[in-house]
Structure 1
Amino acid sequence: MPAGSPTPWSYFFIRLLFKFVLKIFYGTIVVENAQVIPPRGKPCIVCANHSNSLTDALLLVTTIPHKRRNLLRLTAKSTQFGKKTFTSWLIESAGTVPIKRRQDFPSGDADNTNVMQHLIEALEYGDAVCLFPEGMSRYHPTIAPLKTGVARLVSDVLSRNRHNPDFEMFVQTCSITYMHRQHFRSDVLVTFHEPLRFTPKDNPELLVPVNYEEIRSLTAKMHQQISLGTLDAPSWKMTRNAKLAARIYAPLGTTMSLGDYVRVVRTFLEAFKLSDRPISENHSGSEGEAVCKENNEGAIREDERIRQLADDLKDYQDQLARHGIKDDRIRRPIPTHIILYRIIVRLAWFGFLITISLPGLLLWLPVFLTTFVAVSRFKRTGPIWDTWDEIAQYKLIYGLLSGLCVWGSATVLTFPFAPLTVVLVPVAMWMALRWLEDAVSAFRAFAVLSTLLRMGQKHIWELHAVREQLHKRVMDLAVNTLGLPPDPETYFARTGGKEKGRVRGRWASKAKYFSVRRRRKRDWNETLRLYDQVDYPEDEY
């Protein structure tokens, strides 16, 4: 049985370094079903959706448990290699394999024969290879059609080992869902699916000469698995509507895991997608024609009802976005005197948190400025679909380099106390970040409460009436059509496993406030922003 390649020191170092960096950049990284990953020594191709450039690969490297796979061989576009940049060094030192893409070589010199041979040998040795079958990363709401390269690689490996009918290899599909991929302190869900197992004995249809239909069938199965675990929508508008429907169905205060939240959003998303599809007429003779027509008419009415709900959700969300408020503020209107009291409390709390975090924020200032300037310049280099998927990568790398410079400079400038500074600087920066998140949250609440005061009770209650009607329609769709639990606040509190979500009991949330592990957010949609992030930048694709 192959043992797999040993772990290079550079790979071990990079994994440890970026596990630390990713935990700082993203508020929570939730990993589901890591136990299904084939163990070390089993040939395995890891495939995931690709929407966040190098960050996707780093997430897979850091979230696959070291006890399951000691090494994940990465692949990257060949244009990333041979440059005098930190990114290029990072990619090359991790043992990444360069892939030539056709769009990068218009002259046709995109021969990957030697690369594929290298990957085949790595798999036969028992390694895990990471491939992104979409072929390219892009900022887009939907998963691109998958290339057939992974299926052809499976066919080639099985064919080379046809003399050993029990030789087995796996395709491990994975879905990566970013709440807001480019925003600081957002959340990420990484879901591993049951791996696909192949042997020459059980899969003779994949042995050379292979029918290309079998290759397409395997590729379609991979696409289905990946899309089942993430949000795959034809437009950002549909994703926005599905998130609002999920928020109305399971309002703020519902104890639910990130995985449950994503699956609820996806359930509404699939309903909106299906309602937009044309219904094909299926005539099967004169006797069944009337029944078929009646069924089609019922389906058309149901689709029209769902489309109308989506349009009304959009209008409601537009009104919320115009005022800069969240649905929860309309769900439970509060009287004017309570609004005034909370404004004073939130503003005082914001001032206190900013004051105690100032020393740490001074250390963060060079990091924030460096990443802001770097990302601002990068955004101007191309269209949104081709640049915004690399924003997180730029923030990670420039944040890491500038953070190390701050740490080193603070250590050098306090040389007599360097052993103490080496520890205190990261601790001060971490606690300052924790307090800054709460300060931003307090200021965001202050701004929303001020808006409610300006809106007046009459307008608030008018929106509340609209929301009540939407709630009835959303619950009817969720329970009677989509089969979701009728009491989400009770149901999801009983499920979710270890990661139960953000909102817990009052005592638990206060008792763990000073936990060094993480700050507890109130909403999976929350980022380090002064406003609720519900809209997505768009341009022509």
Structure 2
Amino acid sequence: MTVMTKGPMRGSPTPWSYTFIRILFKFVLKIFYGTIVVENAHLIPETGQPCIVCANHSNSLTDALLLVTSIPSKKRNMLRLTAKATQFGHKTFTSWLIESAGTVPIKRRKDSVDGSVDNSDAMLKLMEALETGDAVCLFPEGMSRYHPTIAPLKTGVARLVSDVVSRNRNNPDFQISVLTCSITYMHRQHFRSDVLVTFHEPMKFRARDNPGLLSPVDYDNIKRLTAQLHEKISRGTIDSPSWDLVRTAKLATRIYAPLGTRMSLGDYVRVIRTFLDAFKHFEDLNTENPVNRNGTTNIPEAAQKELRHDLKTYQDQLSQWGIKDDRIRRPLPRHIIVQRIFIRLIWSTSLLTISLPGLLLWLPVFGTTFIAVHNFKKTGPIFDTWDEIAQYKLIYGLLSGICVWIIAVILTWPIAPFSTVLVPAFMWMTLRWFEDAVSAFRAFTALCQLLWVGKPTLKSMHDRRKDLHSRLMNLAVHSLGLPINPESFFVAAGGREKGRVKGPWDSTARYFSLKRRRKRDWNETLRLYDKVDYPNDDSY
């Protein structure tokens, strides 16, 4: 079947519910996640240009909401989403949310009794939307999964490109773009962690330039395009065969670019990925040496396996003591440790004290989400439930937060015009103070641990770290092609979101910023302990 698209394509009008959802969840996501960094938004094709947005899928509905809010409305008026058909037709807020945004239901074989599905109607709707000039969102993994690795991609995106190009083969002006996107969560389900959304250069397809995709299409061409999509998405995120490798690559990054290095979240993720690629080679028994960016190998396999083992042992010891690598890198005299213990204790106590009134407003929100997530975890194994934890926290946190806001306004009805704005503002400032209080308390407990561990043991750990740093720098610089001086390099590269600041005034201004607190560690979450461990790999 051939379709001729006449006239300029302007895209479908934006439903009011979609605009409402985009504004609402942009606000909610900014509260739940400490920082959301969007890279290369200028690469997004504008409204009226047919576009398929495809990304990795590790966080259920949260992935879709993140894409909706990360794509500027000036670029695309809307993003037509897809979701599993089992989420439609329920009398729940989540179901209403999905349906009202014009989402297209996709049937999955695993949800069918006999394992057979027919998505021809859904694919037709997507093709018609593309021919109108819309952008549609597909997650080519086929399902959301709580795994450290990206699943093999389904061929749906490639087949959709083939079908829509074939339908418009007689229109020389028709062009469709495939915009790949990599989503990286530092800790996908934890409050106030950080997120990176990286858009890649779009792949563009016209009938005259891609005869191999015109029907009847050779399936090898479909598989080849799918492999290209997998490579582009995978290269922009932390894609690992095991959680243990993720943990080791993050530690290697912290030793190579120590705490305080001014680097963007994108640079941080790419350095992790570089170390991860080196370590991944030794998961494959047929690979003897890690390959650097120039395609050469320098480091013997035995030395790299030993390095991985020593890094794991070092991180295990840090986790047991509850301290960061930076405490070992820069050893402090005992009198300085004692002095800082008192300072951190006073500061954390003071911040907690001024946070208490506002925490009474947050208590119902925290309690509701905790109970909801606790009960949800009981419904299935880790791999089938943990990918929806962030979604549950967002939805239940939103609903309970709205209830708290309404009740607070009713209780202060005589000044309702003021309390309507002041209550959420006060809750936001409470969250800022509470984050600082928790951060100060983490520092307090770590300093106490340093006293408990003792000077001789810390000296031994410091010597071990110096050895690890030397071996890592050899791997990073001579085998992986990373900069020899990361602190200077990433400052010049423009890493301004976190890390060291220019002076006392800049430090104070950013510390008390209303927008977000100044964190020095991209791995930080709103926890009383540093989150460095992951589920056991045998849980899967």
TM range (shorter): over 0.9
**Mapping for residues 307-322 of structure 1, pairs under 5 Å:** 307-322=305-320
Contact 1:146 1:223 in 2 (8 A): yes
Residue in structure 2 matched with residue 39 of structure 1 by the alignment: 46
Give me the whole-angstrom Cα distance separating, in 1, the residues matched to 2:242 and 2:511. 38
Pairwise CA distance, 1:458: 0.7
In 1, the alpha carbon distance for the partners of 2:332 and 2:350 equals 25
Structure 1 unaligned spans of 5+: 282-297
Residue equivalent to 1:339:
337
For residues 383 and 40 of structure 1, the distance between their equivalents in structure 2, rounded to whole angstroms, comes to: 41
Tell me by how many angstroms 1:275 deviates.
3.1
- Tell me the amino acid that sits aligned with residue 367 of structure 2: L
Structure 2: distance between partners of 1:198 and 1:451: 59
* Aligned-pair CA distance for 1:4: 0.3
Question: How far 1:299 moved relative to its partner?
Answer: 5.8
Q: 1:200 aligns with which of 207, 214, 223?
A: 207
Name the SS of the counterpart of 1:251 in structure 2.
Answer: coil
- Aligned counterparts of 2:453 and 2:511: Cα–Cα separation in 1: 33
Does structure 1 conserve the Cα–Cα contact (< 8 Å) formed by 2:54 and 2:138?
yes
Correspondence 1:224-239 to 2 at 5 A: 224-239=231-246
CA distance in 2, matches of 1:432, 1:365: 12
Distance 2:377 2:297 in 1: 44
Which of the numbers 477, 484, 487 marks the counterpart of 1:486?
A: 484
CA distance in 2, matches of 1:108, 1:139: 23
* Displacement after TM superposition at 1:301 (Å): 6.2
- Once the 2 structures are TM-superposed, how far is the Cα of residue 509 of structure 1 from its aligned partner? 1.6
CA distance in 2, matches of 1:411, 1:503: 41
The amino acid across from 1:303 in the alignment is E
Q: How many equivalent pairs are there?
A: 524
Query: Shift of residue 304 of structure 1?
Result: 2.3
1:182 and 2:189 are equivalent in the alignment: yes
Secondary structure of the 1:512 match is helix
Residues 459-518 of structure 1: per-residue CA shift (max 9 Å, x gap): 111111110000000000000000100000111011136x44243234212123222111
* Contact kept in structure 1, 2:41 and 2:71, CA below 8 Å: yes
Aligned to 1:164: 171
CA distance, structure 2, for counterparts of residue 276 and residue 264 of structure 1: 19
Task: Please identify, of 101-110 and 32-41, the stretch whose mean Cα deviation from structure 2 is larger.
Answer: 101-110
- The 3-state SS of whatever aligns with 1:12 is helix
Find the partner of 2:502 among 505, 512, 517: 505
1:167 Cα shift? 1.2
Q: Are 2:439 and 1:451 equivalent residues in the alignment?
A: no
| Alpha-carbon distance in structure 1 between the residues aligned to 2:17 and 2:367 | 29
**Cα deviation per residue 1:167-195 (whole Å; 9 max; x = unaligned)?**
10010000000000000000000000000
Check 1:280–1:108 CA distance in 2 against 1; reply closer, same or farther (3 A cut): closer
Aligned to 2:3: none
Matched residue, 1:273? 280
Indicate whether 1:540 and 2:539 are aligned: yes
Contact residue 37 and residue 196 of structure 2 kept, 8 A = yes
Which residue of structure 1 aligns with residue 107 of structure 2? Answer: 100
Show the 5 A alignment for 1:255-404: 255-279=262-286, 302-404=300-402
Tell me if 1:112 matches 2:110. no
Deviates more, 1:12-21 or 1:332-341: 332-341
Letter of the structure 2 residue corresponding to residue 375 of structure 1: V
User: Hey, what's the Cα distance between the residues in 2 that align with 1:174 and 1:96?
Assistant: 19
How many angstroms does 1:197 deviate by?
0.2
Equivalent residues of 1:25, 1:396 under 8 A apart:
yes
Q: Which moved more, 1:211-220 or 1:301-310?
A: 301-310
CA contact (8 A) 1:238 1:269 kept: yes
Aligned mates of 1:117, 1:63 — CA distance in 2: 27
Q: Deviations over 1:338-397 (max 9, x none)?
A: 111111000000110011111111110100000011001111111111111100000000
Q: Which residue does the alignment assign to 2:20?
A: 13
Letter in 2 for 1:140: H
Are 1:81 and 2:102 counterparts?
Answer: no
Q: Secondary structure of 2:511's partner?
A: coil
Mean alpha-carbon deviation: is it higher for 300-309 or for 343-352?
300-309
Match for 1:255: what amino acid?
R
* Residues 298 and 479, structure 2, Cα contact 8 Å, conserved in 1: no
Q: Does 1:416 align with 2:414?
A: yes
Distance in 2 of aligned mates of 1:270 and 1:28: 26
For the residue of structure 2 that corresponds to 1:73, the secondary structure is: coil
For 1:352 and 1:528, how far apart are their aligned partners in 2?
Answer: 18
* TM-score, length basis structure 1: 0.95
Tell me the residue number matched to 2:293.
none
Q: Which residue identity does 2:256 align to in structure 1?
A: Y
Q: CA deviation at 1:109?
A: 4.7
- Whether the 8 Å contact between 1:139 and 1:385 is mirrored in structure 2 is yes
State the Cα distance separating 1:212 from its structure 2 match: 0.4
Residue 284 of structure 2 aligns to a residue in which SS? coil
The corresponding residue for 1:290 is none
Unaligned runs of 5+ in 2: 1-7, 289-295
Counterpart contact for 2:524–2:531, Cα < 8 Å: yes
Q: TM-score, normalised by structure 2?
A: 0.95
Percentage identity across aligned positions? 69
SS of the equivalent of 2:347 reads helix
Give the match for residue 261 of structure 2. Answer: 254
Deviates more, 1:242-251 or 1:500-509: 500-509
Instruction: Write the distance in 2 (CA, Å) between the matches of 1:334 and 1:301.
Output: 34
Query: In 2 relative to 1, CA 69–83 (structure 1 residues): closer, same or farther, beyond 3 Å?
Result: same
Q: Does residue 436 of the first structure (1) align with residue 421 of the second (2)? A: no
Q: Check the 8 A contact 1:166/1:200 in 2, yes or no.
A: no
Range that drifts further, 508-517 or 262-271: 508-517
